[in-house]
């Protein structure tokens, strides 16, 4: 089935489909080249990148849970210099939109990374703010609106690339976070990042993960993610990339109806390396079945408060 109805443009980036892959679950894309047409994806959010190489956390770093998984990888990566000199030139052959997820321990580090990555071959920057701010006593950037806004400002000042802020669900008010980063100049938001969780080995009497806690992802988090996308779509006018537990085309449709303009698939890539292609096919079939000519027609369609809707559309829904 043709993907014509799935073609979209997000942040000025031409995409064959609105289906992306979430950072940390798809490597640098090349690892999946035997299973996926990488050029068909809307984009690949590559593995989290930091200024210097990181070896990650010690001990057990991944464990399966009911309907999901916990991870505490610790941002293991070869560093931005290696990415620019070795990885980026190599993966450009696949014709995919490369979105680089970056992490730092100060706002200035995010700015430096954004500057270094302001190069051809990088389509956009995604800011991972689920990291502690060492200058502010370890407070996590993603749980403080002012801190998250400062990261956005610093990144925007150092790059001409679109800047996407990845929202953490580990907050009391996701809407306040979204509004703060929109006001700071974020071009889009992606949500949700993983939920904080843990698992205990009842026979060894200690936590399973070497880091004690980790990020919970997979189908079990999808209802939380859909709810948060719904809320944020009623609060900001910038595009939303929805993610969290997507494992089928039907799951993806929920995010579009809630107000996401694109979706990113994460944990499901581990259980089925071809899942993104199946979701693309399923989305095309869904649009055809319901008589829609483009993915934009269903964005926010179930959400009367979606700010992208015209007054007339809202009135029709209320009726």
Report the C-alpha gap between 77 and 55 in whole angstroms. 7
Report the C-alpha gap between 95 and 93 in whole angstroms. 6
Q: Check if 72 is active-site.
A: no
Q: ∠ at Cα 80 (78, 86), nearest 5°?
A: 70
Beta strands in the chain (DSSP E): 8-10, 13-15, 19-21, 43-49, 62-65, 68-71, 98-102, 124-128, 132-133, 139-140, 163-166, 188-191, 195-198, 200-201, 206-207, 213-217, 240-243, 262-265
Distance of CA 61 to the CA centre of its chain: 21
Report the C-alpha gap between 84 and 117 in whole angstroms. 8
Which residue among the candidates 131, 153, 220, 280 is catalytic per the annotation?
131
- Catalytic residues, by residue number, are 131
């Amino acid at each position: 089935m043709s993907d014509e109805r799935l073609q979209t443009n997000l942040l000025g980036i031409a995409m064959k489909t609105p289906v992306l892959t979430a950072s940390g679950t798809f490597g640098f894309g090349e690892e999946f080249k035997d299973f996926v047409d990488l050029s068909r994806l809307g984009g690949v959010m590559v593995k989290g990148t930091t200024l210097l190489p990181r070896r990650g956390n010690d001990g057990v770093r991944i464990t399966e849970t009911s309907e999901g998984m916990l991870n505490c990888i610790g941002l293991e990566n070869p560093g931005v210099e290696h990415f620019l000199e070795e990885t980026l030139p190599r993966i450009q052959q696949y014709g995919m939109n490369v979105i680089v997820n970056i992490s730092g321990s100060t706002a200035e580090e995010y700015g430096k990374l954004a500057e270094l990555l302001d190069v051809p071959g990088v389509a956009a920057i995604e800011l991972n703010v689920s990291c502690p701010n060492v200058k502010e006593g370890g407070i996590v950037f993603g749980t403080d609106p002012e801190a998250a806004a400062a990261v956005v400002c610093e990144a925007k000042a150092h790059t001409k690339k679109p800047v996407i802020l990845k929202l953490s669900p580990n907050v009391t008010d996701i809407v306040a976070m979204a509004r703060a980063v929109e006001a700071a100049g974020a071009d889009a938001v992606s949500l949700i990042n993983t939920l904080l969780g843990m698992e205990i080995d009842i026979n060894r009497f200690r936590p399973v993960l070497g880091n004690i806690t980790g990020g919970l992802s997979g189908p079990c988090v999808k209802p939380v993610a859909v709810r948060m996308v719904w809320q944020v779509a009623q609060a900001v006018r910038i595009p939303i990339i929805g993610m969290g537990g997507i494992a089928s085309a039907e799951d993806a449709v929920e995010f579009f109806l809630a107000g996401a303009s694109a979706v990113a698939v994460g944990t499901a890539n581990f259980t089925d390396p071809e899942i993104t292609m199946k979701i693309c096919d399923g989305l095309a079939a869904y649009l055809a079945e319901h008589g829609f000519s483009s993915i934009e027609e269903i964005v926010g369609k179930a959400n009367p408060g979606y700010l992208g809707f015209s007054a007339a559309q809202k009135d029709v829904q209320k009726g």
